[in-house]
Amino acid sequence: SKEADIEYALSLNLKRLRVLSKRCDLSEFFDDSGDNNELEALCSAVTDGLARRLKMRKVTTGENEKSGSKIWRSGDSRVHKIVADGVSEGLMFLLSIIAWKLYAIQEQEGLVVDDNEDLLEESPGGDDDEEVQDHIVLRLRNRLIALTELCFEQFLPDVVSDEDEETSSPYTEEQIVFADAVQISAGQVASDLRTLFPKELANA
């Protein structure tokens, strides 16, 4: 279907971006002069697009049982698996961009040391506890955290029946596969985020 082709093209391009971002720092190919940071704009567009797809596929139960179910009843059923693949590629791409940006700051501040250097040596400035309120790394990190939260919100709770008789699952196979896939991807990215930001996410 046309929708499946569009989502596949998006997933494929996100995969290309993810592979490129693993090999080199993509910020070298984008203009970040002035207030117009092209790489941040690209990351924002990716985040917004993936967030919209996740919100559209959120399955609700109870009083709002029919909410968000229209997209599951129409179109090509293969689309949802393709979207899940795109979410996975997008999460890894965003994580890679953040890692490169964080590494650049660590080098700039002299925090990247060789094996023979003393890791416990205090920095001359003594500004370790100074908090930065606004920075591209923080903005990208917060967007990625919000995106992983949307993935975890795809969790499908068990529906308990008052009757003893065994009841069939209210969820379709496509919904279960989609929910599992995006949550697994989000879990992997969240784990890496804790490694990159151990202090901020110590209690996450």
Contact 151, 98 (CB under 8 A): no
Residue 142: is its pLDDT beyond 80? yes
Contact 91, 185 (CB under 8 A): yes
Alpha helices in 109-135 (DSSP H): none
Buried/exposed code over 134-155 (b: 16+ C-beta within 10 A; e: otherwise)? eebbeebbebbbebbebbeebe
Contact 91, 186 (CB under 8 A): yes
Question: What average pLDDT score do residues 162-185 get?
Answer: 82
Q: How many CB atoms lie within 10 A of CB 19?
A: 13
Q: Categorize the per-residue pLDDT at 108 as very low, low, confident or very high, splitting at 50, 70 and 90.
A: confident
Question: What is the per-residue pLDDT for 66?
Answer: 47
Find the range with the poorest average confidence among 102-106, 165-169, 192-196: 165-169
* HSE value, Cβ hemisphere, 13 Å, CA-based, for 54: 29
Of 79, 70, 94, which Cα lies nearest the Cα of 144? 94
More confident residue, 32 or 54: 54
Question: What is the per-residue pLDDT for 67?
Answer: 42
Q: Categorize the per-residue pLDDT at 76 as very low, low, confident or very high, splitting at 50, 70 and 90.
A: confident
pTM of the model: 0.82
Distance between CA 194 and CA 99 in Å, rounded? 12
Question: What is the per-residue pLDDT for 63?
Answer: 45
Percent over 90 (pLDDT), the chain: 50
Supply the mean pLDDT for the chain: 82
Question: What is the per-residue pLDDT for 32?
Answer: 73
Find the range with the poorest average confidence among 84-88, 116-120, 139-143: 116-120
